[in-house]
Amino acid sequence: MKRQLASLLTAALMVGAVAACGGGSGAGTDQAGSATVTTEPAPAPSLTSTPLDVPLLDGVDPVAWLGERLFPLMAEAETDAVNPVYSPLSIYLAFALLSDGARGETAAQLAQALGGDAASAKELANAIMTDYAKYAAGQEAGEGCQVTLEGSDGAGEAVDPWSAECTVTQDPPVLNLANSLWADEAITLDQAFLADATDAYRAEVNNLDLQGDQAVPEINAWVTDKTNGLIDQAVTQDDFNASTRLVLVNALYFNSAWFQPFWADQTTESPFTLASGEVIQVPTMHRDDRGPVRYIQQDDGTVGALLPYTGGGGDIIGRFGLLLVLPAGGVDSVTWDGTQVKGWLGAMQEGDYIVNLDLPKWQADSGQADLIPVFQALGVTDLFDKNTANLTGVGQADGRLWCSRAAHQAVITVDEEGTEAAAVTLLIEEIVSMPQVFTVTLDRPFVYAIVDTETERPLFIGVVNDPRS
């Protein structure tokens, strides 16, 4: 099975209507949840959901803390998405970079939302970018990719996963994480901000006429390249006007095969019960996992599993995995307090057993979700108001800088095309006769997260309400 994920966050900075450039065009509207490019202050918070007001506890990753508090807000902000999905990591990095140039109350509000001031955010961002750059370099060098794996016999027929006939060499995992700044000629970026952006955040800095004809195609071409074509339109001409001075983009792309595969001939139409109670039939994959898959079986009836991806950096089992959780009380019963993912990972059990897993195939596209009301609900208000925003640390422009647009899009696809996975020959040594069997059947709405098991950091969080959508 191959899983591809892409995430994108774009933010646009403008100067206000009082700017010397005279960029005082009226308010406009834009579809697909992207923020309006306007010279009027952003509207008051419009979301009905509220995040939990919980502190960032010691030992909890700030990205995970922010990501969980975002869950109810993103589920509402993704107005066109049946299966909401978003990347806490992408959102964190973009706003952390912007916080580097914030001052005064604007900086304080961002620090409250991100769980730390600009200095601590920069330190974490530098560690993340350095860590994943080394990981990506290891994959390009072929580390951990010379494993003999299960596969098909070349004619499309599945081969017994436990036979010695499987000799397909697996493609390495791909993890691309990139930041970019697109600066108009009417802004001079502050040298300290520029140094932090390029050093800690590894941002590419591009000078571009944001009112010219090439702005949209150049930014979109960068996005297309960084997300391997999964997202090809981050901005449109309607997102710019005469006052736009800077565009900030974060892109995240992840693609990896499973450590053990699902075989197409075991995929069948199976029942899935929607939240409404309607029962539908959806293509559902099945496999019996022996060994590396960890599982959750809690007293309240919550069940789940952690499916490892293929390894990198010399490992056989990779550092990333898919966390699947079927909450006993339904998706709405989950308490997103910043420690839920960490708690699920900590509750995982492993040992001598078989996990019978039934997992629907699904894909999701969040569309461009407007992050302005999301962060307003988190207490970040000054940033989006041309009269109060303090971004003087970003640079010098011909007026007060403020954030006029903040949008996020995430795409995930799950299918069996190009499936090559699993060094299962190394696992059967641990199998003994009559192992204990656990069953995880994801046949109603469930929560998932793509997690870094070393840091317990979620790269993506989502919910599958209807696998057909």
Structure-token match 């700017």, residue found: 19
User: Is residue 179's pLDDT more than 70?
Assistant: yes
What is the Cα–Cα distance from 294 to 47, expressed in whole angstroms?
37
At residue 301, the pLDDT reads 87
Is residue 265 a part of any domain in this protein?
A: no
| Residue at 342 is within a domain | no
Closest CA to 373 of 339, 407, 401, 348: 407
Q: Which domain holds residue 252?
A: 2-132+173-256+364-412
Q: Residue type for 125, please?
A: A
235 in a domain, yes or no? yes
SS3 359: strand
**Banded model confidence at residue 32, pLDDT cuts 50, 70, 90:** very low
CA distances from 161 to 17, 184, 189, 283, 429 (A): 65, 56, 56, 21, 14
Question: In this model, does residue 165 exceed pLDDT 80?
Answer: no
| The length of the chain, given as a count of residues | 469
- Counted domains in the chain: 1
Say how far apart CA 447 and CA 71 lie, in whole Å.
Answer: 11
Which CATH number fits the domain that encloses residue 188? 3.30.497.10
Q: Which residues of 160-197 are buried (b: 16+ CB within 10 A; e: fewer)?
A: ebeeeebebebbbbebbbbbbbbbbebbebbeebbebb
277: pLDDT confidence band, cut at 50, 70 and 90? Answer: very high
Better pLDDT: 430 or 342: 342
Q: Kindly tell me if the per-residue pLDDT of 269 is higher than 90.
A: yes
Terminal-residue alpha carbon distance, the chain: 19
Instruction: List the helix and strand counts (H, then E) for the chain.
Output: 8, 21
What the block records as the tokens of 230 is: 């999964």
Q: Taking residues 432-451, report their average pLDDT.
A: 73
What single-letter amino acid sits at 145?
C
Q: Is 378 a domain residue?
A: yes
pLDDT at 14: 52
Which ranges constitute the DSSP H helices of 323-436? Answer: 340-346, 372-377
Mean pLDDT for 265-276 is 92
Position 27 in a domain = yes
Burial class of residue 154 in the structure, from the number of CB atoms within 10 Å of its CB (0-12 exposed, 13-18 middle, 19+ buried): exposed
Any domain includes 308: no
Domain contains 459: no
Kindly report the average pLDDT of the chain as a whole number.
Answer: 76
- Is the pLDDT confidence value at 315 over 50? no
Return d(Cα 146, Cα 142) in angstroms, integer.
7
- Kindly state whether residue 143 falls inside one of the protein's structural domains: no
Q: Indicate the pairing of strand 244-257 with strand 279-290.
A: unpaired
Coil/strand/helix, residue 235 = coil
* DSSP states of 119-181: HHHHHHHHHHHHHHHHHHHHHHTTTT---EEB-B-SSSPBPPTTSTT--EEPPPPEEEEEEEE
CA–CA gap between residue 195 and residue 202 (Å, rounded)? 10
| pLDDT class of 8 with cuts at 50, 70, 90 | low
Q: For residue 205, what pLDDT band results from cuts at 50, 70 and 90?
A: very high
> pLDDT tens for residues 322-370?
899 999 999 999 999 899 999 999 888 776 677 788 899 888 888 888 8
pLDDT band at residue 91 using 50, 70 and 90 as cut-offs: very high
pLDDT at residue 313 tops 60: no
